[in-house]
Every structure is written in structure tokens, then in C-alpha cells.
Amino acid sequence: AANALDKKIIYPKDFLDNYNNPSDRENLYKFLYNSFDSADTYIIFTNQIINGGLITSRDPLSYLELEEKLDALTDFLKSAKEYDKKVIVVSVLPRVIPSQFTDLWNFRDELIGFSNQFGNIDPNIFQNSLQYPPKEIVARYLSIYSGSDLIVERMKNNVDKELIDLFVIGQDDTYKESITNHQITRYMKYNNENIIVQPGADELTKLILARLARSERTNNPLDINLIFSDPVESNEIRAYEASTTEVRYKKILNFLNISLNQESENVAVIHNKPGLSEKTINLIYDNINKDYLALIDTAYINRGDPELFTEPSFIKNLKGYSGWNTVGNSIGSELANFVIFDFLKSFRCLKLV
């Protein structure tokens, strides 16, 4: 495990996407091939290397020449295995809300409605029976998910050929009955030690890094107590999620090999309902002497709750905070932080003040 502390995380920031500017695929491959002498583990997002980024992967145009792009990635995977490298590949299913950078955005409500009926209607009937949106718009929208489906199937084949050590299938913003939820349900049959269906997007890199750190300490059990300001809410499906908060956090805990324990010395207080800031702050002070104390702020989507910080003297007692786009983003980011904190503390890499 001590060897893991000597490792560096490097990434080609000059060639990655920047918001809606796509990544530089040619230079990304140069970076990958040129790193065989220095790197031993690769984390590759197909959204980045194939589509040009997570946002770009919402654009039907990013799936043009897809077979050629998949062949290029497979060629790299073969080379990486010749050099005996560990390879982790992640494919995130694009969100069901159309991209605001395409003309699909003009039909967003209709397309979201179509997506949420996907399991109950025949797409051909839908396209032929409705003049609005035009059937070519529906076809382009569907091409995003048929393209992402092809990517998943090819990566699954690469796992079978032992070119990929771990394949993670993620899922960006969605709804319970959406088209991507039907895809995720179908991919569940692939779940094994080398293929993991792990809904989420923004938090996945941190989760994977935490999982790698956790694998260095498999003989050290890790547990946590999750305390909700509103326990009932954890059984609800929040915005942009396909399952309840309880299902989401249990999948994240399982991914990181963390157990739940109400007596744990590690606590994350989850502020999950507006108007309960006083109760949340009291819960924090009730657990102020725990070995690890974090605040996960999910009362609102896409922002934190400012009422928590009107008198923020408790902040100095926190070892972690997360308030992100969605409930899954926030919980995943903080639980990953918990694992990384535990890993570094165990090797005295943290100076706690």
C-alpha cells in the first residue's frame, strides 16, 4: 500500500474538453501512447475519447464515424495490454434532457416526454403519428442512445477479451421511466467483478480513485453512519435520479466497500430537505467528537442551502462537505472523499489541525 503513495495522477488538461469545446482526440491518443513508460493504470472515459466530452456526448454529431472511433480505442487497449497496463474504462449514458447546444433543445419538453414513455410506445408509431416534433428530430435524439448502446456493447466485448480490467457504466441526469433507465436495466445482466453498473456522472472519477485507494486496504474494514435530517425523504426519487436516495447511496457504499453502522465513529450528516437547517446543524454538533464528520448538502438541486451557513462556526469541525448538482453527485463525491481521507490518514499523510 505504501507504493500507492508514490503514484502520481497525471492527465492531459490541455487536450480535454472545456465546457462545450470538445477534446482534442488526436493529442489525447498521443498522450496515452507516450505514457506507456510512466503510467501503470489508465482511467479512460469513452465520452471523452470518442465523443469529445460529457456535454458533447449529448450531440448526435459526436456519434458519426463511431465504428472507426471504437476501433481506435480498441487498438489502444490492445497496446496497453501488451505493456501489461491496468485499464479502467467508463461509459456514461448521456442525460435524457437534450443538449442546449443543438437544435434538439427546441423540442426538449416533447423529447423528454417521449423518453419517459419509451418502454410503453413503439418509436416508429410515435415518429409517424406526430408532426411535432418532426420525425427526423426524434430519429436524431434516438441516435444518441443507440450510439451509446453500441459503445457499451463494444466495451463489454473488450472486457470479455481481457482488454479492460474494469468497465463502469454510468448514467447522467435521468428520470425513473426514461430511455437510459431502460438501458441501465438491460445492462444489469452484465454486472460482475469486471463490469459495474454505477449510475452517476460527475462523481465517477473521484469514486474510481477512491475505489483504487480502498483496494490497497482490503484488510481494513471501513464503516460509516449516514444520518438524514429527514429520514423519510431517503425513500423518494429526487430530481434527475432514476431511483430513490436509499438505492443510490447503497450502490455507492457497495462500490467503495463501505458498510453502514449506526455506531460508527465516522458520520455523514445528510441535509436533505429545505427548512431543516437548524435540525441539521444540531445533528452536526451532536456528532462533533466523531473521528470523521462530514456534511452532505442535498436539500436543493444544483446548489447548497445558504441557511446552513448563516452562523457557520461548525465548519471547522467538518472533514468533508459536498453540495453538488444532484443527490447522487453529492453523496458519491463525499463518500469518495471519506475513503481518500481514511487512506491518507492511515499513512500519516494528513496533518489534522
- Joined together, the cell numbers standing for residue 312 give 457557520
Rounded-to-integer distance, Cα 138 and Cα 123, Å = 9
Of 215, 307, 228, residue with least CA distance to 267: 228
Q: CA triplet 255, 317, 219: central angle to 5 degrees? A: 35
- Show the low-confidence residues of the chain (pLDDT under 70): 1-7, 119-132, 348-353
* Helix (H) or strand (E) segment spanning residue 296: strand 292-297
Burial 102-140, CB ≥16 within 10 A → b, else e:
bebeebbebbbebbbebeeeebeebbeeeeebeeebbeb
- Joined together, the cell numbers standing for residue 267 give 458520520
What pLDDT is stored for residue 324 in this prediction? Answer: 84
Rounded-to-integer distance, Cα 51 and Cα 54, Å = 8
What pLDDT is stored for residue 2 in this prediction? Answer: 41
Burial 257-295, CB ≥16 within 10 A → b, else e:
ebeeeeebebbbbbbbbeebbeebbebbeebeebebbbb
What pLDDT is stored for residue 132 in this prediction? Answer: 63
Rounded-to-integer distance, Cα 172 and Cα 183, Å = 12
What pLDDT is stored for residue 120 in this prediction? Answer: 61
What pLDDT is stored for residue 135 in this prediction? Answer: 85
What pLDDT is stored for residue 126 in this prediction? Answer: 54
Q: Could you tell me the strand order of the sheet in which 292-297 lies?
A: 259-260, 223-228, 266-271, 292-297, 320-322
| Amino acid letter, 121 | I
